[in-house]
């Protein structure tokens, strides 16, 4: 099993969710995060006090997937979330050792 | 402005005959030194209703207007502490006012301070009256007491912005009680106490020091704004900078709250300025209009300055400009005309902008919410400008010579008046500066002013009050 973590621009969330749904992805966890890469923030000024914000708001997706589905998930996210601008984000894949469905106790691929 | 004049009701029967005789004699003009029984007939329901409404408006300026204006500008972890400080200062100040404040400010005694003859409002009741600026027009004394009370409540509350996010609650309350007593009440007495238009001609020295010098302060540019502004500056210097000042980001947590606060301040300020006329008449309407347009001009002016300086006008700038305009027009509100009020608004914003950005950053002092930059500097600009805009040659209202009965329009000398205004400003700065410094220093070395660094980092909401402003 694989664990796919993607950090994308917030306004891309709905598009990505729909595209993944079409792939057969049944669920995901979404978190609002702050971060930066090559995209820089803005300078905010409050009564002469300047703040340069390094952090930009992003959305993080976490998806547990079978080994077969994971590469297609990565590809789908990359195509859907891209705006061809700096700050589009990144997708990571981690090895997932175990997964359990809490309601039934199922484990392994059937728990995904 | 204020004045105190009241009388206690005597035996109605005996006085009726006297009044009848007096009326028969003076039927042609106003009555000099009226008796309490005569004053009863000199009270107008419109004036009384207006003054009570104004009192409610000025209370609203403190809670919630000032509380939200300041609160939105601090970090979430300190929001509740700001709300609590303002709320409790209003409550404590109200009690101190009816305890000894009203008496010290508005009874005779000397040029610097009154006496305790009306402490705990002894002798003040439903049959006593306060004078206005018009011969033979009176207010129920309680209406005057409560209106002035709202001023005593908001002035100390203004100060806390200067050392927001790093002050201990109980020492702050102790400071407020002491500061009102030795700084606010004397200045209010010096600027606003006098014997009233019907009594002054017979008691030509019965006034506060600055009133007697001829200083003009319609609604409290010196008494409230310069006073609080200077006290704030002294306070932020003695309390010291916030932990992490200059290194950590501390942007406002809610500009929404700040805008709500600024808007309510504007609306409430009509009570503050127009209500200071103590009657509902044409001058009241002048003060009302001036308060509206000066503020509008100042908001526009600040936005233009930011557009030029930073290419983007900000809401904080517009709101701050509006408040600066309100502060500047305060002493001039009943004296200026709308066009000169607009000029004052346009001029005060760039000056305050200079103080809150360039000068504050260069001198590196942590006047967190710009109490000195806006209230202190704006008050100084407004107080001096009052000498200019009050000139009838510029459309101003001029002043009344109350040493004669009935009062008559005085000869206006702009240069002389501006000089008098300057003296009033300097005296207020000195009195507030020295008085505040002594009090802050005394508290600093005894009970301490600052919370521990750990408490400051955690946030005053939790550390001082065991509560959070936001639970989510």
CA B275, B277, B281, B284 torsion-angle sign: negative
DSSP B380-440: HHHHHHHHHHT-GGGT----EETTSSS-EEPPP-HHHHHHHHHHHHHHHHHHHHHHHHHHH
* Digit-coded pLDDT (tens) for B114-124: 999 999 999 99
User: Are the beta carbons of B314 and A48 separated by less than 8 Å?
Assistant: no
Measured in residues, chain B has a length of 472
Which of A46, A50, A53 to mutate to test binding with chain B, by most B CBs within 10 Å of its CB?
A46
Domain boundaries, chain B: 36-460
User: Are the beta carbons of A51 and B370 separated by less than 8 Å?
Assistant: no
With CA atoms as reference, the chain A residue closest to B319 would be A47
Q: Please provide the average confidence, as pLDDT, over all residues in chain B.
A: 94
Beta strands in B81-174 (DSSP E): 129-131, 138-140
With CA atoms as reference, the chain A residue closest to B321 would be A47
| Residue B317, CA distances (Å) to A53, B351, B374, B375, B400 in order | 20, 13, 11, 15, 38
Neighbours of B304 (CB within 10 A): 16
**Residues B390 and B218 sit within 8 Å (Cβ to Cβ):** no
With CA atoms as reference, the chain A residue closest to B360 would be A48
Please give the Cα distance from B333 to B219 (Å, whole number): 7
Residue B5 reports pLDDT greater than 60? no
CA–CA min distance B357, chain A (Å):
4
The pLDDT assigned to B23 comes to 45
Classify B135 in phi/psi space as left (phi over 0), alpha (psi -120 to 50) or beta.
Answer: beta
Residues of A in contact with B358 (CB under 8 A): 48
Band the pLDDT of B12: cuts 50, 70, 90.
very low
Which of A46, A47, A53 to mutate to test binding with chain B, by most B CBs within 10 Å of its CB?
A47
Diameter of chain A by CA atoms? Answer: 59
Please give the Cα distance from B108 to B142 (Å, whole number): 18
The pLDDT assigned to B458 comes to 94
* Digit-coded pLDDT (tens) for B224-281: 999 999 999 999 999 999 999 988 889 999 999 999 999 999 999 999 999 999 999 9
Residues of B in contact with A34 (CB under 8 A): none
With CA atoms as reference, the chain A residue closest to B362 would be A48
Residue with tokens 């601090």: B74
User: Coil, strand, or helix at residue B462?
Assistant: helix
User: Are the beta carbons of A48 and B357 separated by less than 8 Å?
Assistant: yes
Per the structure, how many domains does chain A have? 1
Residues of B in contact with A50 (CB under 8 A): none
More confident site: A46 or A18:
A18
Band the pLDDT of B10: cuts 50, 70, 90.
very low
Cα angle for residues B242, B245, B247 (degrees, 5° grid): 150
Mean predicted confidence (pLDDT) in B435-449:
98
Q: Which of A44, A48, A53 sits opposite B361 (nearest CB)?
A: A48
Residue B1 reports pLDDT greater than 80? no
Residues of A in contact with B357 (CB under 8 A): 47-48
Residues of B in contact with A45 (CB under 8 A): 310, 312, 314
Residue B155 reports pLDDT greater than 70? yes
Q: Which CATH number belongs to the domain containing residue A63 in this structure?
A: 3.30.70.120
For residue B57, what are its two tokens? 């408006």
SS3 sequence of A47-72: CCEEEECCCEEEEEEEEEECCCHHHH
For residue A86, what are its two tokens? 């700096």
Band the pLDDT of B4: cuts 50, 70, 90.
very low
Mark out chain B residues that contact chain A at CB-CB < 8 A. 249-252, 310, 312, 314, 316-317, 320, 353, 356-358, 360-361, 370
As to burial, measured by CB atoms within 10 angstroms (0-12 exposed, 13-18 middle, 19+ buried), residue B215 is: buried
Cα angle for residues B303, B68, B324 (degrees, 5° grid): 35
Band the pLDDT of A51: cuts 50, 70, 90.
confident
With CA atoms as reference, the chain A residue closest to B311 would be A45
Please give the Cα distance from B191 to B105 (Å, whole number): 10
User: Are the beta carbons of A46 and B251 separated by less than 8 Å?
Assistant: yes
Residue B14 reports pLDDT greater than 80? no
The pLDDT assigned to B154 comes to 98
Q: Which of B250, B252, B360 sits opposite A48 (nearest CB)?
A: B360
Mean predicted confidence (pLDDT) in B366-384:
98
Mark out chain A residues that contact chain B at CB-CB < 8 A. 44-49, 51, 53
Pairing type for strands A89-95 and A29-35 reads unpaired
User: Are the beta carbons of B252 and A46 separated by less than 8 Å?
Assistant: yes
Band the pLDDT of B28: cuts 50, 70, 90.
low
* Digit-coded pLDDT (tens) for B166-214: 999 999 999 999 999 999 999 999 999 999 999 999 999 999 999 999 9
Residue B316 reports pLDDT greater than 60? yes
B454: number of CA atoms within 13 Å, CB side?
Answer: 0
Mean predicted confidence (pLDDT) in B134-150:
98
* Digit-coded pLDDT (tens) for B389-435: 999 999 999 999 999 999 999 999 999 999 999 999 999 999 999 99
User: Are the beta carbons of B251 and A44 separated by less than 8 Å?
Assistant: yes
User: Are the beta carbons of A45 and B310 separated by less than 8 Å?
Assistant: yes
Residue B15 reports pLDDT greater than 90? no
For residue B319, what are its two tokens? 């709101």
Compute the radius of gyration of chain A from its Cα atoms: 17
Which of A48, A53, A54 to mutate to test binding with chain B, by most B CBs within 10 Å of its CB?
A48
With CA atoms as reference, the chain B residue closest to A49 would be B357
User: Coil, strand, or helix at residue A2?
Assistant: strand
Interface pTM, i.e. ipTM: 0.76
**pTM, 2 dp:** 0.90
User: Are the beta carbons of B314 and A45 separated by less than 8 Å?
Assistant: yes
Q: Which residues contact B7 (CB under 8 A, 6 or more apart)?
A: B34, B35, B36, B39, B128, B129
The pLDDT assigned to B17 comes to 43
Residue B16 reports pLDDT greater than 50? no
Q: Which residues contact B223 (CB under 8 A, 6 or more apart)?
A: B151, B155, B184, B187, B188, B191, B192, B217, B428
Residue with tokens 């300041």: B70
Taking domain B36-460, whether its CATH number is 1.10.3430.10 is answered by yes
Helix ranges restricted to H, A1-112: 13-23, 69-81
Structural domain boundaries enclosing A7: 2-111
């Amino acid at each position: 099993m694989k664990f796919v973590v993607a950090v994308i621009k917030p306004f891309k969330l709905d598009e990505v969710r729909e595209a993944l749904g079409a792939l057969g992805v049944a669920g995901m966890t979404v978190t609002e995060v702050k971060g930066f890469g090559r995209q820089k923030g803005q300078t905010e000024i409050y009564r002469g006090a300047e703040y340069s914000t390094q952090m930009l708001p992003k959305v993080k997706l976490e998806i547990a997937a079978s080994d077969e589905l994971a590469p297609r998930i990565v590809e789908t996210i990359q195509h859907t979330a891209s705006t061809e601008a700096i700050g589009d984000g990144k997708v990571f894949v981690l090895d997932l050792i175990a997964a359990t469905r809490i309601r039934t106790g199922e484990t392994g691929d059937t728990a995904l | 402005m204020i004045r105190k004049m009241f009388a206690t009701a005597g035996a109605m029967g005996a006085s009726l005959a006297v009044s009848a005789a007096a009326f028969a004699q003076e039927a042609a003009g106003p009555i000099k030194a009226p008796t309490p029984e005569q004053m009863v007939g000199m009270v107008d329901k419109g004036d009384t209703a207006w003054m009570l409404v104004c009192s409610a408006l000025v209370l609203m300026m403190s809670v919630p207007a000032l509380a939200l204006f300041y609160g939105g500008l601090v970090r979430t972890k300190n929001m509740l502490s700001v709300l609590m400080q303002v709320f409790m200062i209003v409550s404590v100040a109200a009690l101190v006012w009816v305890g000894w404040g009203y008496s010290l400010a508005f009874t005779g005694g000397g040029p610097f301070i009154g006496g305790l003859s009306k402490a705990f409002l002894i002798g003040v009741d439903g049959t006593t009256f306060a004078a206005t600026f018009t011969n033979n027009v009176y207010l129920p004394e309680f209406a005057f007491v409560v209106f002035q009370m709202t001023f005593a409540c908001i002035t100390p509350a203004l100060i806390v912005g200067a050392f927001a996010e790093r002050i201990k609650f109980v020492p702050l309350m102790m400071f407020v009680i002491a500061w009102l007593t030795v700084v606010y009440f004397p200045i209010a007495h010096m600027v606003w106490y006098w014997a009233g238009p019907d009594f002054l001609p017979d008691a030509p020295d019965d006034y506060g020091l600055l009133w007697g010098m001829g200083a003009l302060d319609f609604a409290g540019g010196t008494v409230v704004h310069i006073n609080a502004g200077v006290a704030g500056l002294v306070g932020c210097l003695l309390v010291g900078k916030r932990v992490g000042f200059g290194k950590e980001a501390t942007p406002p947590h809610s500009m929404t709250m700040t805008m709500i606060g600024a808007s309510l301040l504007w609306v409430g300020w009509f009570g503050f300025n127009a209500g200071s006329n103590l009657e509902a008449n044409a001058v009241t309407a002048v003060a009302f209009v001036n308060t509206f347009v000066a503020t509008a001009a100042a908001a526009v002016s600040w936005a233009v300055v930011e557009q030029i300086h930073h290419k983007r006008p900000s809401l904080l700038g517009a709101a701050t400009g509006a408040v600066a305009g309100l502060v500047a027009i305060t002493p001039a509100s009943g004296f200026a005309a709308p066009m000169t009020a607009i000029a004052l608004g346009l001029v005060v914003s760039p000056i305050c902008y200079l103080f809150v950005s360039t000068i504050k950053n260069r001198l590196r002092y942590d006047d967190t919410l710009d109490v000195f930059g806006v209230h202190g500097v704006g008050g100084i600009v407004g107080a001096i400008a009052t000498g200019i805009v009050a000139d009838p040659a510029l459309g101003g209202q001029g002043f009344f010579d109350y040493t004669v009965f009935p009062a008559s329009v005085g000869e206006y000398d702009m240069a002389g008046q501006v000089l008098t205004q300057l003296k009033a400003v300097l005296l207020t700065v000195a009195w507030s500066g020295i008085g505040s410094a002594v009090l802050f220093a005394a508290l600093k070395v005894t009970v301490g002013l600052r919370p521990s660094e750990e408490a400051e980092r955690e946030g005053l909401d939790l550390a001082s009050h065991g509560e959070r402003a936001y639970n989510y």
